[in-house]
Chains A and B, each alone.
Chain A
Amino acid sequence: QTVVTQEPSLSVSPGGTVTLTCGLTFGSVSTKYSPSWYQQTPGQAPRTLIYTTNTRSSGVPDRFSGSILGNKAALTITGAQADDESDYYCVLYMGDGVWVFGGGTKLTVL
């Protein structure tokens, strides 16, 4: 069974840069999986940040960027701010009408 992997937790200093990744237990992530990224704070619905690998959703600050790094999808936050402290999820389109979420990364800004 395909599992989408994410770092369980990461931390970044205010103003710093952090990269979250999204991989597969078997195989490499490429643009064909149309990786997308979501931010969620406790008690709130997810907010879409990035879709089709590197396209920012409307209203998303340009300090958020998406890419493919090696064999994983990546979300990079440049110039982290306190309110970036959230849970971040990636999702991959596996084809045949099936999407799979990663387990999520809890980002701490300190």
Chain B
Amino acid sequence: QIQLMESGRGVVQPGGSLRLSCTASGFPFTTYGIHWVRQAPGKGLEWLSFIRFDRSNEYYADSVQGRFTISRDNSKKMVYLQMNRLRAEDTAVYYCAEDANWALHFWGQGAQVTVSS
């Protein structure tokens, strides 16, 4: 079955960096785009970034533009989210999700990122 799983969770100091990974299985990974979405404690979902299946384009929300970078390695069926210059407000559960028909279909279980000194 289709599965996505995030890894790389952790605690990082303000101003620090962290890279999340999303491992996919059960679907033709090289033909689907992947999103990253986060949810701060007690808050709603926030779309962060999207990468097309062929890496031809990457897109970002204003809140993370210039600090976060999405990338993918189709040979490994993995997508990454490199997060730099982290702030306390970046503390959240981060989800990856498969894109189809301009919607987020299958979701991972999420990875907790805590930014704290």
A and B are partners in one complex rather than unrelated chains: yes
A48 to B45, alpha carbons, bound, how many Å?
13
Tell me whether A14 is interfacial, beta carbon within 8 Å: no
User: Does B45 lie within 8 Å of A101, measured CB to CB?
Assistant: yes
Contact flag A48-B59 (CB < 8 Å), given A99-B50, A101-B44, A104-B44: no
Tell me whether B95 is interfacial, beta carbon within 8 Å: yes
Tell me whether A64 is interfacial, beta carbon within 8 Å: no
- The interface residues of chain B lying within 8 Å CB-to-CB of A40 are 45
A46 to B104, alpha carbons, bound, how many Å?
10
User: Does A89 lie within 8 Å of B103, measured CB to CB?
Assistant: no
Q: How many A-B residue pairs have CB under 8 A?
A: 68
For B, the interface residue count at a CB cutoff of 8 angstroms equals 25
A106 to chain B, nearest CB (A): 10
Tell me whether B88 is interfacial, beta carbon within 8 Å: no
- The interface residues of chain A lying within 8 Å CB-to-CB of B117 are none
**Could you tell me which A residues sit within 8 Å of B by CB distance?**
1, 34, 36, 38, 40, 45-48, 51-52, 55, 57, 87, 89, 91, 93, 96-104
Q: Which 3 A-B pairs have the closest CB atoms?
A: A97-B59, A51-B103, A36-B103
**Could you tell me which B residues sit within 8 Å of A by CB distance?**
35, 37, 44-47, 50, 57-59, 61-62, 95, 97, 100-110
Q: Can you spell out 14 A-B residue pairs with CB atoms less than 8 angstroms apart?
A: A45-B107, A47-B107, A48-B106, A52-B102, A52-B103, A57-B105, A87-B44, A91-B103, A96-B59, A97-B58, A98-B47, A99-B47, A101-B37, A102-B44
